[in-house]
Amino acid sequence: MELSANISLAECVKSQTALRMKIDNTPNVDQIAALKQLALAVLQPVRERFERPLVIGSGFRCAALCTAIGSKTTSQHRMGQAADFEIPGIPNPAVAKFIRDNLSFDQLILEYYDPEEGTNSGWIHCSYVSSERNRDEVLTINNNGTFEGLLGV
Ligand SMILES: [Zn+2]
């Protein structure tokens, strides 16, 4: 099932942990609808801007998967509203900056980006709720803590 022109449901649901632990990480209708909103509003525009496939490290996480990886069950990943991703060959700060400056989103987080480890270190977390309810919150999270805005961009 395709969520948008270049983003499939399968890549938003895939989880190595779920496979290994035999967790059924299948989203329900509402969670799929949320994933589709996220794909259309954020993932697909990013794909088109950089003209390269996204690598989605984690999209939807069912409650059992959240528990298995130590993520809160209130996480937006569980609602189908968030994805962690990157684009191989494109610096994560450049992708985050494009999202911040051009797209509507709920929360954008540049996570564990370390310039000393290379521009592809870390990943981008982005969530989408709805155009009325998006908070447009931009954060950087790294080993030193959580900071407002995109640090070092
Ligand atoms: Zn995330």
The pLDDT confidence band at residue 88, using thresholds 50, 70 and 90, is: very high
Q: Is residue 153 part of a domain?
A: no
Structure confidence at residue 117 (pLDDT): 85
The pLDDT confidence band at residue 120, using thresholds 50, 70 and 90, is: confident
Query: Distance, CA 109 to ligand 1 centroid (Å)?
Result: 8
Q: Is residue 3 part of a domain?
A: no
Query: Distance, CA 50 to ligand 1 centroid (Å)?
Result: 21
Mean pLDDT over the full length of the chain: 96
Distances (CA, A) of 6 to 11, 48, 53, 74: 10, 9, 8, 28
Mean pLDDT of 73-83: 96
d(CA 77, CA 95): 20
Q: 153 pLDDT exceeds 90?
A: no
Domains: count for the chain: 1
Tokens of 114: 């370390």
Torsional class of 111: left (φ above 0), alpha (ψ -120 to 50), beta (otherwise): beta
d(CA 107, CA 10): 23
Q: Is residue 22 part of a domain?
A: yes
Instruction: Give the DSSP H/E element, type plus range, for residue 148.
Output: strand 145-148
DSSP class of 129: -
pTM for the structure as a whole = 0.95
The pLDDT confidence band at residue 126, using thresholds 50, 70 and 90, is: very high
d(CA 144, CA 151): 11
Query: Distance, CA 152 to ligand 1 centroid (Å)?
Result: 20
97-119 pLDDT, tens per residue? 999 999 999 999 999 998 888 87
36-75 pLDDT, tens per residue? 999 999 999 999 999 999 999 999 999 999 999 999 989 9
Query: Distance, CA 5 to ligand 1 centroid (Å)?
Result: 22
The pLDDT confidence band at residue 148, using thresholds 50, 70 and 90, is: very high
The CATH number given to whatever domain includes residue 63 is: 3.30.1380.10
> What is the span of the domain harbouring residue 117?
9-148
Query: Distance, CA 51 to ligand 1 centroid (Å)?
Result: 23
Query: Distance, CA 43 to ligand 1 centroid (Å)?
Result: 14
Q: Is residue 61 part of a domain?
A: yes
d(CA 80, CA 77): 5
* Phi (first) and psi of residue 84, to 5 degrees: -105, 130
86 in Cβ contact with 109 (< 8 Å): no
Query: Distance, CA 82 to ligand 1 centroid (Å)?
Result: 6
